[in-house]
């Protein structure tokens, strides 16, 4: 059967052994793997020390695939090196001095060696020295910006940098002291076990990152988004090609620059919720986009606060059978055969070159708050734009069918007047879906002069 052995120094190895193997022979195999004398080895399974060296692994109940903990006992901890540990011996005293403390350079350094390591170069404890080293090394400064944003933000202010540096240093020291205290007091405490598991996880993460840096360094590079040059109403625009977006959108600032705000149908106002929340001002139902020598028809949803000028969504890409060719770095318009190159990094807008990993992300609470505010603002504007109720010109004796108020309110929420909703409900005999379809169809009709 196969067993996995681990130590508190994160050394892990596996052994293929027989279930009839006695504990003392199992310790001899571990001695060969670790170099620790077998009489100083303590084996623990499920938090319980295995004390009888003459028992087999099967007698202990250990099965294939189990994980055992190996630790070296302190000298003179009651183990005489004899073949059997007496039944009166208590839990072996484990030597935690070989545990590597974060920040130390040695893998097996004892606690007595720690002061010498930390005091080997006093300049490394000086915040100003660290700050000057970072300022003189752009590569290291970029790494700090990615891995320690608070420290990177204070790099141009000596006093602030010193405060942040000392605070983080103190937090690390407190964490290390708490870690050592837990491990020395009771290594089988649930909190200590969680700490050990987290350190193993972090070590695996670091190992995974080092492997990626060695064999796939390109994965750490920044990918430039796909932009093309086009024109809207004769005005040049850099459009972002996004096959993951459902609809083509344009910012209000770009729409004003292209002089198409006069075509915005505000009945299509609403809220766009994806990565963040933005208010939709309305929709331009038809406008031409010039890509190369061709003019293509498209509709735009106008967003109030959108960082990019224009985004070509899936509706536009599907309508014109566009092909995104990454091998040739170009966009092919299937309906016309036009080919346009994607812009290089120097040609894309400034906001498209920002590293999103270093930017602060909006929390879910803030996003929900923005959505609630946008919905309230949209409802308020819809109420203000609702025409005042006029007296009916029909005879009072004329009877009209009544409809559920929740159905009426749902249709009104699409920015249609109550009178129009009731009229379409009467025509569709109360079928809300048919009434909504009729209202949408009428919204596309040209207004009568």
Q: What are phi and psi of 265, to 5 degrees?
A: -90, 105
Instruction: Name the residue among 15, 21, 50 with its Cα closest to residue 33.
Output: 15
Q: Identify the helix (H) or strand (E) that includes residue 422.
A: helix 418-427
Please, which residues have CB within 8 angstroms of residue 272's CB and are 6 or more apart in sequence? 249, 278, 279, 280, 301, 303
Distance CA 304, CA 278 (A): 7
Candidates 67, 76, 87, 73; CA nearest to 37 is 73
Sequence-ordered list of residues with C-beta below 8 angstroms from that of 405, at least 6 positions apart, any chain: none
315 is an active site residue:
no
Q: Which ranges constitute the DSSP H helices of 305-363?
A: 314-319
> 10 Å Cβ neighbour count for 317?
20
Q: Which residues partner with 310 through β-bridges?
A: 239, 250
Q: Are 19 and 56 in contact (CB under 8 A)?
A: yes
Alpha carbon of residue 147 to chain centroid: 15
Query: Exposed e or buried b for every residue in 212-243, given b needs 16+ CB within 10 A?
Result: eeeeeeeeeeeeebbbbbbbbeeeebbbbbbe
For residue 414, give Cα distances in angstroms to 180, 262, 409. Answer: 62, 21, 9
Q: How many CA atoms lie within 13 A of 124 on its CB side?
A: 7
Residue of 242, 294, 305, 309 marked catalytic? 242
Q: How many CA atoms lie within 13 A of 226 on its CB side?
A: 18
Q: What is the distance between the alpha carbons of residues 364 and 361, in angstroms, rounded to a whole number?
A: 9
- Enter the tokens of residue 209: 């990152």
List active site positions: 242
């Amino acid at each position: 059967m196969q067993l996995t052995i681990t130590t508190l120094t994160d050394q892990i190895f596996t052994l293929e052994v027989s279930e009839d193997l006695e504990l003392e022979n199992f310790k001899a195999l571990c001695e060969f793997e670790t170099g620790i004398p077998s009489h100083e080895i303590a084996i623990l399974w499920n938090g319980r020390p295995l004390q009888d060296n003459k028992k087999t692994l099967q007698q202990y109940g250990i099965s294939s695939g189990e994980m055992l903990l190996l630790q070296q006992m302190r000298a003179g901890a009651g183990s005489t090196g004899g073949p059997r540990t007496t039944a009166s011996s208590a839990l072996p005293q484990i030597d935690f001095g070989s545990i590597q403390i974060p920040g130390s350079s040695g893998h097996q350094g004892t606690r007595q060696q720690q002061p010498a390591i930390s005091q080997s170069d006093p300049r490394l404890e000086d915040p100003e020295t660290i700050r000057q080293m970072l300022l003189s090394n752009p590569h290291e400064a970029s790494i700090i910006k990615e891995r320690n944003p608070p420290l990177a933000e204070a790099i141009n202010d000596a006093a602030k940098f010193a405060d942040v540096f000392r605070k983080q240093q103190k937090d690390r020291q407190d964490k290390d002291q708490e870690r050592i205290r837990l491990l020395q007091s009771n290594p089988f405490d649930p909190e200590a076990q969680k700490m050990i598991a987290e350190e193993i996880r972090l070590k695996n993460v670091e190992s995974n990152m080092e492997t990626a840096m060695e064999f796939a360094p390109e994965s750490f590079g920044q990918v430039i988004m796909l932009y093309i040059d086009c024109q809207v109403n004769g005005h040049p625009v850099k459009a972002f090609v996004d096959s993951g977006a459902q609809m083509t959108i344009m910012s209000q600032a770009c729409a004003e620059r292209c002089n198409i705000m006069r075509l915005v149908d505000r009945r299509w106002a609403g809220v766009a919720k994806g990565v963040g929340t933005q208010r939709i001002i309305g929709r331009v139902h038809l406008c031409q986009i010039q890509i190369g020598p061709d003019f293509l028809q498209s509709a735009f949803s106008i967003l109030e606060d959108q960082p990019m000028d224009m985004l070509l969504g899936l509706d536009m890409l599907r309508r014109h059978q566009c092909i995104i060719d990454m091998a040739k770095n170009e966009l092919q318009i299937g309906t016309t055969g036009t080919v346009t190159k994607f812009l290089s990094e120097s040609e894309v807008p400034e906001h498209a070159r920002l590293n999103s990993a270093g930017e602060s992300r909006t929390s879910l609470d803030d996003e929900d708050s923005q959505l609630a505010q946008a919905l309230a603002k949209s409802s308020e504007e819809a109420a203000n734009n609702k025409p005042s109720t006029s007296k009916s010109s029909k005879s009072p004796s004329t009877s009209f069918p009544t409809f559920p108020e929740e159905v009426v309110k749902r249709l009104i929420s699409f920015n249609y007047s109550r009178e129009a909703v009731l009229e379409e409900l009467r025509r569709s005999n109360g079928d809300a879906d048919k009434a909504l379809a009729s209202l949408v169809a009428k919204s596309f009709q040209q207004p009568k002069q």
